[in-house]
Amino acid sequence: MPIPEDVSGFELDKGVLQELQSLPKGLAEDVGKNLVMVARLIDEDPEGAYGYSRVALRLASRVAAVREAAGFAAYANQKYSEALAEFRAARRMTGNVELWPVMADCERGLGRPEKALDMAGAPEVQKLDKAGQVEMRLVAAGARRDMEQLDAAIVTLQSPELASNSVQPWTARLRYAYADALLAAGREDEAREWFAKAVESDKDGSTDASDRLAELDGVEFVDAFDEEAEDGAAPAAQADDDSRDEQEQEQEQEPEQGREQ
């Protein structure tokens, strides 16, 4: 697959670059460039990212960072079985537990919410950092909802992190998930309150909390481009009418000019 000229491979995290040092120099550069493309495309073009991940995997399947990248690319394309296999391989290579929440979410994607809940109660969760533990809580709540246990999902999300007034990277998503669960349970007033809190903490627009809040408030959005198109159409139509009127007037005047001659 083509690699843009501005990609060098050195854009990667230092830890990943260190892993790639186990490869011959030329091979390491090729793998690095493909990994950069995975990271660059995974949000906007998941299929493209997946293609680059497969190239990297073919070149260096024994590098943990490559297996992890392949896992996330597969996950972004909802290839949950493949993603889970790659995450497990990366975990075997490194011994790290940081992939535990996304592995559990793959189990959800495969229609096995009970397995995801088992993973949420496993000892590995205690080894996660705070962000990982919050992510695990979100996955567990999602598994409860998969099983139509709405009240249990709500209780799962109730935590010190949810109650805290400090804004952390996970705050907006946690509040959003809680609001969404409340709404699914028919608790609309509480849901509106928590969607509003999610909006307050969502500085980078990672959720659509503002849209959900507006929907609850009965606000309807109008497409500005449609309005411009409609506004622009009227003058054009009027111009056509004026042009036709002028032509008719000229045609009426021509016979009179001929008689005068």
According to the model, what pLDDT value does residue 246 have?
A: 53
Instruction: Kindly state the helix (H) or strand (E) to which residue 214 belongs, with its residue range.
Output: helix 209-216
According to the model, what pLDDT value does residue 9 have?
A: 85
Its pTM stands at 0.80
Q: Assign 3-state DSSP to the chain and report helix, strand, coil percentages, each to 5.
A: 75, 0, 25
Which amino acid is located at 58 in the chain?
Answer: R
How buried is 247 (Cβ within 10 angstroms: 0-12 exposed, 13-18 middle, 19+ buried)? exposed
Which residue, chain included where needed, has tokens 């009970």?
A: 114
Between vectors from CA 215 to CA 212 and to CA 218, what angle results, nearest 5°?
A: 155
According to the model, what pLDDT value does residue 219 have?
A: 78
According to the model, what pLDDT value does residue 257 have?
A: 42
Which amino acid is located at 62 in the chain?
Answer: R
Other CB atoms within 10 A of residue 7 CB = 15
Determine the 3-state secondary structure of 67 from DSSP.
helix
pLDDT tens digit string along 87-137? Answer: 999 999 999 999 999 999 999 999 999 999 999 999 999 999 999 999 999
The contacts found for 249-257 with CB under 8 angstroms, 24 or more apart, are none
Give pLDDT tens digits along the chain (261 positions): 899 889 988 889 899 999 999 999 999 999 999 999 999 999 999 999 999 999 999 999 999 999 999 999 999 999 999 999 999 999 999 999 999 999 999 999 999 999 999 999 999 999 999 999 999 999 999 999 999 999 999 999 999 999 999 999 999 999 999 999 999 999 999 999 999 999 999 988 889 999 999 998 887 656 555 555 455 544 444 445 555 555 555 554 444 444 333
